Structure 1
Amino acid sequence: MRKRIYWLLPDLGSARRTMDELLLARIAEHHVHFVARDGAPMEGLHAANVLQTSDLVEAAQSGALIGSGLGAAGGVAAAFAFDPASPAALVIGVAAVGAMLGTWSSSMIGSSTPSRRLKRFEEAIAEGQYLLIVDVPRTRIGEIERLLERTHPEAHFEGVEPNVPAFP
């Protein structure tokens, strides 16, 4: 299980040094993400993608839940209306279709919605700072925090996310 740590770094040089130190500390590159304002240089950094910068994952999960619930309700109504040979199979099938449609439609909306988790960093990012998002094993949180505090006094620790999505 991993926890997500947030740090604000003042400039590109600090962000690059931090990236190198995390790699040397054996944090895999795909667990290190940077967010910067549009047009900011990102050479040498692993930029965050839509999975980290949008509400896609949360929206897909909500869509699956709501879609399957509505699909199950529709399946029950259809079972009463048509009197099928296997009403349970009808309910389960319609619930599965509802879950798929709910996941798909909600993920389309969520991919275009900025992440609520990153909302508090918008002003700092707009001012030119770089946001570091790093997912570390629970057992290494203290070690990584101490490393960054020691090597980057210019950086600001911004907290630990209590619930990191299993994907990404």
Structure 2
Amino acid sequence: MKRHFYITDNLDDLEQVEQELESSGVDTPQIHILSEHDAEVKNHHLHEVEAVLKKDVVHSMEIGAVTGVIAAIVVLVVAYMAGWTESAAGWIPFIFLAVVLLGFCTWEGGLFGIQEPHYQFKRFQEALREGKHVLFVDVDTKQENTLCQVVSRHPQLQIAGIGEATPELVVEAQKKWRSFMKAMP
């Protein structure tokens, strides 16, 4: 899947675009509006980006976790190479330290990430400050033509690039969840 970004300052047009995409087979979990005017986006019944996903928490936690795994491996290797595991305590304190380091680095990564905009959205900060809105749509190769057709009917949309999409497995899970919630009495 690919993520296509578009910028506009017209929420009415975005509402029409979202309706056209959905009626053409692009599901709601694939369509998002990034804006600093969340109330207006909600009033137009558009699929907004969740507040936590506007920040780089998940990406930074992944980086922190990788750092933590490396630190944990270093601790275990040093403990083994230095012969410290031969003592009465054995491996237990070093495994505990490795787990603590992994958790701490992951947590710290999340703390750093909550202070930063999402790594894919950093390039749009100036446009967002100017009051514009970013539409991004995650499409597979079969839906690319549909997206191009819909976008071509809306000249106010400015192409803003392509990025990494939400994994298809996650999008499918979101679709199933929405279906499940609609079926609930």
Which bracket does the TM-score occupy, shorter chain normalised?
0.7 to 0.9
Q: What residue ranges of structure 1 are gaps of 5+ in the alignment?
A: none
Q: Give the letter for the 1:14 counterpart.
A: D
Cα distance per residue 1:31-56 (max 9 Å; x no partner): 21111124651121111124542222
SS in 2 for 1:41: helix
Number of aligned residue pairs: give it.
Answer: 164
Contact 2:61 2:113 in 1 (8 A): yes
Which residue matches 1:126? 129
TM-score, normalised by the number of residues in structure 2: 0.74
Matches within 5 A, 1:66-77: 66-77=67-78
Counterpart for residue 160 of structure 1: 162
Match of 2:30 in 1: 31
Contact 2:34 2:49 survives alignment (8 Å): yes
The CA RMSD measured in Å over matched residues stands at 2.7
Q: Hey, what does 2:47 align to over in structure 1?
A: 46
How has the CA–CA distance of structure 1 residues 154 and 41 changed in structure 2, closer, same or farther, with 3 Å as cutoff?
same
Give 5+ residue unaligned stretches, structure 2.
172-185
**Corresponding residue SS for 2:46:** coil
CA distance in 2, matches of 1:137, 1:100: 35
Please identify the structure whose Cα radius of gyration is greater. 2
Structure 2 CA distance, aligned partners of 1:60 and 1:130? 27
1:83 aligns with 2:82: no
CA–CA separation in structure 2 for the residues paired with 1:38 and 1:147: 24
1:49 and 1:65, CA in 2 relative to 1: closer, same or farther beyond 3 A?
same
Which whole-Å deviations, capped at 9, do the CAs of 1:106-143 have from their partners, x for residues lacking one? 12321331123222222222222211011111332233
For 1:27 and 1:127, the matched residues in 2 are separated by 29
